Structure 1
Amino acid sequence: MPELRVIAEKLAFPEGPRWHDGRLYFVDHLDGHVNVVEPDGTVRLLATLPGGASGMGWRPDGTHLVVSMHDQRLVALGEQVTEVAALGGLVGGPLNEMVVGGSGRAYVGNFGSDLTGGEPLTPTVLVRVDPDGSAVVAAENLVFPNGVVLTPDERTLIVAESFALRLTAFDVDENGGLSNRRVWASFGEAPSLDFGEIVAQGTTIPDGIALDAEGAVWVSDPVGHEVIRVAEGGRVLDRIPTGELGSYAVALGGSEGRTLYICANARLGRIEPGIDRCGQVLTVEVDVPGAGRP
């Protein structure tokens, strides 16, 4: 059994791990913190977003983009936090995960509704933000678009539709347009669009994802006690238990790209946000290095 190591703990809700320029970045989204893990293991706070922090990525010029969840903005970190795009007119709920391609285009998911405020689960859109800050709907009718990756040639985008229990793929054209929608992997049939019923079913709910060099995807599961590695079509290739905690996001990085970073927390439905503070960032070594973006 691979050995898990804790590199950060007592977090409210760690999410969005990214390996960039030799270091691990992650957010603690309930606190709005954007963090970096220094080579000596110290976790350093880079910025606090009052609207809550989620997905992040970097443009080719080094601009550090971060999702500001509840005010529905994409922002850039620097000496100050600056707005890149306001997405409230396109989305129905808090913003969520994101991938930034080599072109500088960002694809941003969202909840679809105010689930934490009691609104029903509602299909929604994936938004594309171009380098000039303009934003358009890239894909519609997605059920909680969450973790998202681009293949190394950036011609395929894969997104986790968490509460549809599937990974969905699109072809990407030279202008960033998405087409040829298809199911990349399915983990079962959602019983309804009722959040509670889906969680109670106990089926894998794909949250954050990471692509490796063999074209397989590591999938985090907030209702399970593991992360899984799946091939296109849904065959499970590997499983790594996460003990009593569920997994919410993953990333591949490290010096050889073979370190799997896992953001873990109490299982979905059992968290007292900001009170339990049992969130952790875990690492484990795997055989196949990461590929694509993020």
Structure 2
Amino acid sequence: MEMGTPRVLLEGIAFGESPRWYGDRLWFADWGAGEVVAVGADGAHEVVLRPDFPTFPMCVTWLPDGGGLLVVSSSQDRVLRRAADGSLVPYADLSAVAHGWNEIVADGRGHVYVNGGGFDLMAGEEFRPGVIALATPDGAARQVADGIAFPNGMLVTSDDSTLIVAESYANRLTAFDIGPDGALSHRRVWADLGDGCPDGICLDAQGAVWYADVPNQRCVRVREGGEVLAAVELDRGCFACALGGPDGRTLFLVATKWAGVENARGGPRTGQLLTVTAPAPGVGRP
């Protein structure tokens, strides 16, 4: 399917990640600037959160039913919740499961999933497979999946039955059934992506997944099994994507010129937030 030319909504971003449509704005984390930013459809934006911990990486999600914004503090192996006064308070301790965390998503029943890469890419460590943890409201966490080849984006289907995770180093999307207690089972390959390297992902109402691809500088829409339905080509690495807008059919793309791990912090602000109209509205979470 032919896609229109993306429009730049915001630029000058240090290192954008974790876009989520919430309320009437697109929220994203700028890892390079250490901020969470909210952007309106007209490009008007504001910094809504400046955490006081190292923010590379830092991902966000919302609890259902107004339960609040959750923030992953990878450096502290913690999930934090934004309180009514704007402060960040403890939500769950991940340190007993693993160290070093990335993406987060909450389903409609309040199950909170956080994944970790298993190794510190930024420090140049050798690859080790990662895990998915379930963080619970009592402040604890437990491992619910392992052997994930660099887990990246995650989503939960609108019926809360399935979690899909991007395995960047395995070039695939992997699905799990979600049990009543939040346990994950029936692991399977949802889509083999060939040379696709999935980062952030989102789901649409036709059951297709969009995945951001950094090395191939694009965002790709695939159906279960891996058939490519559409692609948006960019001039820089696409790190994450989200569907939102008033009708849910705006595809938001977070893209940055990737110059390698050694240049990921403190370099030129090449990050952009772009938009293009999608063929189907977004569903599920985040």
TM bin, normalised by shorter chain, reads over 0.9
| 1:249 lines up with 2:240 in the alignment | yes
Native 8 Å contact 1:55 1:99 kept in 2: no
Q: How does 1:81-230 map to 2 (within 5 A)?
A: 81-92=88-99, 94-188=100-194, 203-230=195-222
Tell me the C-alpha RMSD between the 2 structures.
1.5
Share of identical aligned residues, percent?
43
Aligned to 2:281: 289
Where 2:102 maps in the other structure, the secondary structure is strand
Q: C-alpha separation between the residues in 1 aligned to 2:199 and 2:43?
A: 26
Q: Which sections of structure 2, spanning at least 5 residues, go unmatched?
A: none
Where 2:283 maps in the other structure, the secondary structure is coil
Where 2:122 maps in the other structure, the secondary structure is helix
1:171 alignment partner AA? D
Which of residues 61, 65, 70 is equivalent to 2:66?
A: 61
Q: C-alpha separation between the residues in 1 aligned to 2:138 and 2:110?
A: 9
Q: C-alpha separation between the residues in 2 aligned to 1:130 and 1:272?
A: 32
Deviations 1:69-98 (A, max 9, x none): 222211112321112112122124x21111
Aligned to 2:54: 51
Where 1:208 maps in the other structure, the secondary structure is strand
Change (3 A) 1:263 1:39: closer
How far apart are residue 62 of structure 1 and its match?
Answer: 3.2
2:271 alignment partner AA? G
Q: C-alpha separation between the residues in 1 aligned to 2:200 and 2:276?
A: 16
Aligned to 1:275: 267
How far apart are residue 61 of structure 1 and its match?
Answer: 3.0
Q: How does 1:226-241 map to 2 (within 5 A)?
A: 226-241=218-233
Aligned to 1:14: 16
Where 2:197 maps in the other structure, the secondary structure is coil
Please, what TM-score do these two structures have when normalized by structure 1?
0.90
How far apart are residue 39 of structure 1 and its match?
Answer: 5.4
Native 8 Å contact 2:24 2:40 kept in 1: no
- Aligned residues between the structures: 278
1:34 alignment partner AA? V
1:232 alignment partner AA? E
Q: C-alpha separation between the residues in 1 aligned to 2:257 and 2:206?
A: 31
How far apart are residue 237 of structure 1 and its match?
Answer: 0.6
How far apart are residue 217 of structure 1 and its match?
Answer: 0.1
Q: C-alpha separation between the residues in 1 aligned to 2:44 and 2:281?
A: 24
Greater displacement, 29-38 / 278-287: 29-38
Native 8 Å contact 1:147 1:208 kept in 2: yes
Q: C-alpha separation between the residues in 1 aligned to 2:147 and 2:237?
A: 27
Native 8 Å contact 1:260 1:284 kept in 2: yes
Q: C-alpha separation between the residues in 2 aligned to 1:158 and 1:175?
A: 17
How far apart are residue 272 of structure 1 and its match?
Answer: 4.2
Where 1:163 maps in the other structure, the secondary structure is helix
Q: C-alpha separation between the residues in 2 aligned to 1:43 and 1:274?
A: 22
How far apart are residue 268 of structure 1 and its match?
Answer: 6.1
2:130 alignment partner AA? T
Native 8 Å contact 1:109 1:144 kept in 2: no
Where 2:274 maps in the other structure, the secondary structure is strand
